[in-house]
């Protein structure tokens, strides 16, 4: 049975939607419905804060549980230095401070892919794995994180890595498949270019792929021709919510 001691709230801000849910920290799974709200067209910090507040009200959370929020950008001391897939007004925003002022909640803030890495390390396919793991989420952009011998290396931005003069996520993000109406084989060609470049740079021991499209992993992962083992993330598109819930429970104990 879930108790307040093993429950946290995770909220994942994405380029297409903002998702939130209560996380059972013992089981590493959602213990509530997942609330999903389209990202406002004007995705300013002020408008996103309104959506966060809506999710919190919808889930009717206890004020004493840990809360965490992810963003698709690097986070340093709770400050977002730059933002690629949301409104440019996010630059230099202290999101933790803003949430505290606007909603009255002390939230932990983390990059979305790093939150997914925390989830996979604690509850998923990275648990017990040694060596170097390259984790990527294929969505509006490509979020990335590295896990080395059980430690998450935060704020990597290899979705923006230059490949033949083009950013990696402009070649192979999940949104590109939709935007350019690529079939699976055409998209796999793009993924092959991206992951071959990653493999050449890092020689990882394992590549994990997440994002909502990873539910369809059988349609593309077996077609990749890589030396490295490639697997879908166990927690798929819930990884960011579960990971930031876990991270917030540890963060609030510091």
CATH number, domain of 100, equals: 3.30.420.40
107 domain-assigned:
yes
The pLDDT value recorded for residue 5 is 76
The pLDDT value recorded for residue 218 is 97
Distance CA 40, CA 240 (A): 20
Q: Residues 159, 207: one domain?
A: yes
The pLDDT value recorded for residue 104 is 94
254 domain-assigned:
no
108 domain-assigned:
yes
Residues 178/140, Cβ–Cβ less than 8 Å: no
Token pair 């109406």 is found at 181
Q: Residues 108, 138: one domain?
A: no
212 domain-assigned:
yes
Q: Among residues 80, 112, 144, which one ends one of the domains? A: 112
Q: Residues 52, 85: one domain?
A: yes
226 domain-assigned:
yes
Boundaries of domain holding 34: 4-112
5: phi then psi, degrees, rounded to nearest 5: -70, -25
Q: Residues 101, 146: one domain?
A: no
121: phi then psi, degrees, rounded to nearest 5: -70, -40
Q: Among residues 44, 78, 112, which one ends one of the domains? A: 112
Q: Residues 52, 151: one domain?
A: no
Q: Residues 22, 61: one domain?
A: yes
Count of CB atoms within 10 A of residue 141's CB?
Answer: 27
The pLDDT value recorded for residue 61 is 85
Q: Residues 8, 107: one domain?
A: yes
Q: Residues 152, 219: one domain?
A: yes
Interacting residues of 156 by C-beta distance below 8 A, sequence separation 6+ = 113, 144, 145, 146
Cα–Cα distances in angstroms (integers) from residue 95 to residues 62, 111, 129, 130, 250, in the given order: 21, 12, 33, 33, 19
The pLDDT value recorded for residue 247 is 97
Q: Residues 100, 191: one domain?
A: no
Q: Residues 150, 90: one domain?
A: no
Q: Among residues 48, 79, 112, which one ends one of the domains? A: 112
Cα–Cα distances in angstroms (integers) from residue 13 to residues 37, 50, 108, 171, in the given order: 10, 12, 13, 22
225 domain-assigned:
yes
Residues 143/116, Cβ–Cβ less than 8 Å: yes
Q: Residues 155, 218: one domain?
A: yes
Q: Structurally, how many domains does the chain consist of?
A: 2
Tell me if residue 228 falls in helix, strand or coil.
coil
238 domain-assigned:
no
Tell me if residue 54 falls in helix, strand or coil.
helix
246 domain-assigned:
no
pLDDT along the chain (254 residues), means of 10: 77 96 96 96 96 95 91 95 90 96 95 98 96 96 96 96 95 96 98 98 97 95 98 96 96 60
Q: Residues 94, 131: one domain?
A: no
C-alpha neighbours within 13 Å on the C-beta side of residue 178: 10
The pLDDT value recorded for residue 33 is 94
Buried b (16+ CB within 10 A) or exposed e, 50-60: ebbeebbeebe
The pLDDT value recorded for residue 1 is 41
């Amino acid at each position: 049975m879930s108790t307040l001691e093993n429950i946290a709230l995770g909220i994942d801000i994405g380029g297409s939607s903002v998702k939130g849910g209560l996380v059972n920290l013992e089981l590493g799974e959602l213990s509530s419905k997942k609330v999903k709200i389209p990202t406002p067209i004007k995705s300013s910090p002020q408008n996103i804060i309104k959506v966060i507040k809506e999710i919190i009200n919808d889930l009717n959370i206890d004020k004493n549980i840990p809360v965490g929020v992810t963003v698709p950008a690097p986070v340093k001391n709770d400050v977002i230095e730059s933002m690629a897939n949301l409104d440019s007004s996010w630059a230099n925003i202290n999101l933790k401070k803003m949430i505290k002022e606007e909603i009255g909640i002390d939230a932990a803030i983390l990059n979305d892919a790093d939150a997914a890495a925390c989830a996979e390390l604690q509850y998923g396919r990275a648990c017990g794995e040694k060596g170097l793991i390259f984790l990527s989420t294929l969505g509006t952009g490509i979020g990335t994180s590295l896990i080395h011998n059980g430690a998450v290396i935060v704020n990597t931005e290899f979705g923006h890595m230059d490949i033949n003069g083009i950013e990696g996520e402009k070649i192979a993000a999940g949104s590109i498949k939709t935007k350019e109406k690529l079939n699976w084989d055409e998209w796999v060609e793009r993924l092959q270019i991206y992951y071959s470049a990653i493999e050449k740079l890092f020689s990882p021991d394992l590549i994990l792929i997440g994002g909502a499209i990873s539910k369809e992993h059988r349609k593309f992962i077996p077609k990749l021709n890589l030396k490295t083992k490639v697997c879908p993330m166990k927690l798929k598109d819930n990884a960011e919510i579960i990971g930031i819930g876990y991270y917030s429970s540890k963060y609030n104990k510091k």
